[in-house]
Structure formats: structure tokens, C-alpha cells
């Protein structure tokens, strides 16, 4: 059935119904009015928006609409994780391109619902519009406790305690990452290789494919890091070197990475070789892991308590030299030149 046999409002009702308990039906104004409303206590509102555009961020031959739904939640919520915020609600704006069917949107809604349950958020509202290309834009809302914070100008110190920021790295900090950076990019590389060869990716690739299609935002880690005293984080969406570059410039510090310490995924090394696995770890995007900077003791204490699905690994340090720059070195101390440029939303990925 083509999508426009359903009217706009029947389609919205169908999607909200499909979401089940992932739709926030018990908030003050649930989905269905001009806007959603929910009760908040005093503190900081934390909000972010992210888009998944067909052809730019996903293709129908590399992931299902269910995967897109999962990622629509995970990628937005990941920005809240990087702030150390608690995540609560999302709004989803769907632009529906030609060829989408109601069943496609059922799949999308199922993926959204599963991801919402995984990440502890619910859908409070959204928007649908016909378009010449399909995309899903998710706004994620969260909160942070902030005793006495009114705004940054009034009390920057109080704000500094309330969230993780990318401009809070200090020379002397250690740098750590969660999980296995490059796994998502390795998954995509294997999916694309299998498409070219006409077969399916090998079973050994399954965890890498999942890293690409069903990433998990590190909300618990972000909050634990803030509680442990960390002040600086970023999520790995554009690629490790590029994301740490954002930290280096925002904090006006240098960052040094020891390539040998990078926790490569064993399947990426086995299937793509160590050189390619390293390149993807440095330059491949969309991991949605967290990079943190903090005193080494803070990171070590945090690592000791982290759940095993996203172990924290120290990979380098923050320095007062080469401010604004990230340098990765191999075991011999030689600078590793990145072979993959990292994501730029105005250019195609180079992988």
C-alpha cells in the first residue's frame, strides 16, 4: 500500500500505536496535541537534535528501516550521554520520501521502540511531512542537576559541575574511550564489501554489523563519569581523531594518543587486518562511544566500575603543547597519519 493511501493523521495514529510503551502516554500532554508537555524539576534542561538522512547516513541496502529507527534514537541520545545528562524524552520529525510504505514505517517504529526501551527514553511527539527524500530528525531531551545554576554568565562554576563539556579538558588529564572505536565503521565496510561481492558478511562480522546498525549510547557511563568528577567528554560520532580535535580546539589544549593502546575490536582486526582496523578506529565515525578526559586516577576508578559491554580504556593524555591539535603516535613514537578523514556532514565519508 502506498503511504498516501493513509492520511497524515491515520499514519501518526498508526505510528504512535506501534510504539507501544515507548510512546509517553502518561505525561502532562502526551502525543497528539500541538506540543508535548511534561513535568520537570529545577535544574538544567539539556537538548540536542540529530538527523539521519537517507543517502548521507544510511542506505536501504546497508540497514533496515528498523535499524534506522534504532539509530534515530541512539545517535541523538548519545549527545546527552556526552553531557553526562539523564535522558528522558524524544521528538521525531519524519520526512517521508517516495517509495516508503506503511510497513516500512512499522519497521521504523519497531526499531524506535526497541531503542527507546534500551536507552530509557520515550517518544513525546513528532512530525511527519512528505518530502523528495527520506530523513528522520530526532530531538532528545534530558536534564542535569544544577544546584544554583541560573546561567553561565551568572555562575560558571556551578555549571561546570553540572555537565560534561568539550571545552573542559586540562593539560595533565588522561584520555580514555569506551568500547572499541572503529567497530561501527568496520561493520559498514564489511556490509559494503559483501554487497559488492554479492554475498552476506561472515558470521564473525556480526558484532561489527551490530555496532553499525544498533549502536548503544553510553548514558550510564556519561552520568557515572560526571559523578566520579570528570568534566570533559565528547561522543564519537565523527571519528576519534576528529572528535578529539573538537575537544582540543574547544579546550585550547593538545591531545596525544598512543595508537598501540587503542582497543581495536578483535573481529575488525581478524577480518580487515590490523592496519585497516587501526585506520577505522582513528578515522571511522558513528561509534557513539564516549571519549573522556580527566585525571588518570578518576578514569581508572571509573573503569573499575564500568559494565563489561563498554570497558573504558586509557589511550593518551592532554598536553599544553600543540594546542588545538591531536597527535597519534605508534609504539616507536612516530606520528600516525590518519588515512580516513572523519565525518564532515557536508562531504561524503571517505570510506
1, exposed or middle or buried, with CB in 10 Å at 0-12, 13-18, 19+? exposed
199: its cell numbers? 554475498
CB of 9 to a copy of itself, least distance (A): 8
Q: Is residue 80 near a copy of itself by the rule CB under 8 A?
A: yes
CB of 331 to a copy of itself, least distance (A): 32
Binding pattern for the stretch 247-286 against a copy of itself, x by CB under 8 A and - elsewhere: ---x------------------------------------
Lay out the sheet containing 290-294: strands in order across: 232-235, 290-294, 174-178, 312-319, 254-258, 326-329
Applying CB under 8 A, which of residues 39, 196, 331, 332 lies at the interface with a copy of itself?
A: 39
> How far, in Å, CA of 166 to CA of 245, rounded?
10
Q: Is residue 225 near a copy of itself by the rule CB under 8 A?
A: no
Q: Which residues pair with 14 in a beta bridge?
A: none
Within residues 50-79, the interface with a copy of itself by CB under 8 A covers: 50-51, 53-57, 78-79
> How far, in Å, CA of 320 to CA of 322, rounded?
7
Which among 302, 301, 296, 297 has a CA at the least distance from the CA of 315? 296
Residue 221: how many CA atoms within 13 Å on its side-chain side? 32
Q: Which residues pair with 135 in a beta bridge?
A: 53, 95
Q: Is the dihedral of CA 326, 236, 341, 275 positive or negative?
A: positive
Report the residue number, 127 or 252, with the smaller CB distance to a copy of itself. 127
Applying CB under 8 A, which of residues 109, 112, 123, 149 lies at the interface with a copy of itself?
A: 149
Report the residue number, 11 or 186, with the smaller CB distance to a copy of itself. 11
Applying CB under 8 A, which of residues 112, 163, 190, 208 lies at the interface with a copy of itself?
A: 163
Compute CA 153 distance to the chain's CA centroid, rounded to the nearest angstrom: 29
Strand duo 135-144 + 290-294: pairing? unpaired
Report the residue number, 165 or 276, with the smaller CB distance to a copy of itself. 165
Q: Which stretch binds a copy of itself (CB under 8 A): 132-140, 200-208, 277-285, 328-336?
A: 132-140
Q: Yes or no: say if 133 and 95 are a contact pair by the CB < 8 Å rule.
A: yes
Q: Is residue 335 near a copy of itself by the rule CB under 8 A?
A: no
Applying CB under 8 A, which of residues 21, 28, 99, 260 lies at the interface with a copy of itself?
A: 28
Applying CB under 8 A, which of residues 66, 69, 111, 126 lies at the interface with a copy of itself?
A: 126
Within residues 306-325, the interface with a copy of itself by CB under 8 A covers: none
What are the backbone angles phi and psi of residue 327, rounded to the nearest 5°? -120, 125
Q: Which stretch binds a copy of itself (CB under 8 A): 155-163, 187-195, 273-281, 322-330?
A: 155-163
Applying CB under 8 A, which of residues 109, 146, 221, 336 lies at the interface with a copy of itself?
A: 146
CB of 33 to a copy of itself, least distance (A): 5
Residue with cell 502525543: 31
Q: Count of residues binding a copy of itself (CB under 8 A)?
A: 88
Within residues 5-24, the interface with a copy of itself by CB under 8 A covers: 6-9, 11
Amino acid at each position: 500500500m502506498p503511504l498516501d493511501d493513509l492520511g497524515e493523521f491515520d499514519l501518526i495514529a498508526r505510528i504512535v500505536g506501534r510504539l507501544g510503551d515507548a510512546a509517553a502516554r502518561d505525561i502532562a500532554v502526551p502525543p497528539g496535541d500541538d506540543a508535548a508537555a511534561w513535568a520537570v524539576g529545577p535544574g538544567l534542561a539539556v537538548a540536542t537534535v540529530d538527523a539521519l538522512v537517507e543517502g548521507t547516513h544510511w542506505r536501504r541496502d546497508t540497514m533496515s528501516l528498523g535499524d534506522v529507527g534504532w539509530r534515530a534514537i541512539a545517535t541523538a541520545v548519545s549527545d546527552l550521554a556526552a553531557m553526562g545528562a539523564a535522558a528522558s524524552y524524544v521528538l521525531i520529525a519524519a520526512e517521508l520520501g517516495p517509495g516508503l510504505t506503511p510497513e516500512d514505517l512499522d519497521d521504523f517504529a519497531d526499531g524506535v521502540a526497541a531503542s527507546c526501551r534500551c536507552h530509557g527514553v520515550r517518544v513525546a511527539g513528532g512530525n511527519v511531512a512528505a518530502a523528495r527524500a527520506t530523513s528522520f530528525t530526532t530531538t532528545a531531551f534530558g536534564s542535569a542537576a544544577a544546584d544554583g545554576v541560573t546561567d553561565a554568565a551568572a555562575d560558571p562554576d556551578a555549571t561546570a559541575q553540572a555537565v560534561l563539556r568539550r571545552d573542559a579538558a586540562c593539560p595533565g588529564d588522561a584520555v580514555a574511550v569506551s568500547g572499541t572505536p572503529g567497530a561501527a565503521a568496520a561493520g559498514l565496510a564489511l556490509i559494503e564489501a559483501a554487497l559488492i561481492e554479492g554475498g552476506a558478511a561472515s558470521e564473525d562480522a556480526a558484532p561489527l554489523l551490530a555496532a553499525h546498525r544498533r549502536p548503544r549510547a553510553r548514558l550510564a557511563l556519561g552520568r557515572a563519569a560526571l559523578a566520579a568528577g570528570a568534566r570533559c567528554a565528547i561522543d564519537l560520532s565523527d571519528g576519534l581523531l576528529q572528535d578529539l580535535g573538537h575537544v582540543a580546539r574547544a579546550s585550547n589544549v593538545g591531545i596525544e594518543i598512543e595508537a598501540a593502546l587503542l582497543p581495536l575490536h578483535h573481529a575488525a582486526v581478524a577480518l580487515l587486518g590490523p592496519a585497516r582496523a587501526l585506520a577505522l578506529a582513528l578515522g571511522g565515525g558513528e561509534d557513539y562511544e564516549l571519549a573522556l578526559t580527566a585525571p588518570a586516577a578518576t578514569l581508572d576508578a571509573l573503569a573499575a566500575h564500568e559494565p563489561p559491554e563498554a570497558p573504558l580504556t586509557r589511550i593518551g593524555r592532554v598536553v599544553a603543547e600543540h594546542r588545538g591539535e591531536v597527535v597519534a603516535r605508534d609504539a616507536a613514537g612516530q606520528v600516525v597519519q590518519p588515512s580516513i578523514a572523519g565525518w564532515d556532514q557536508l562531504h561524503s565519508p571517505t570510506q
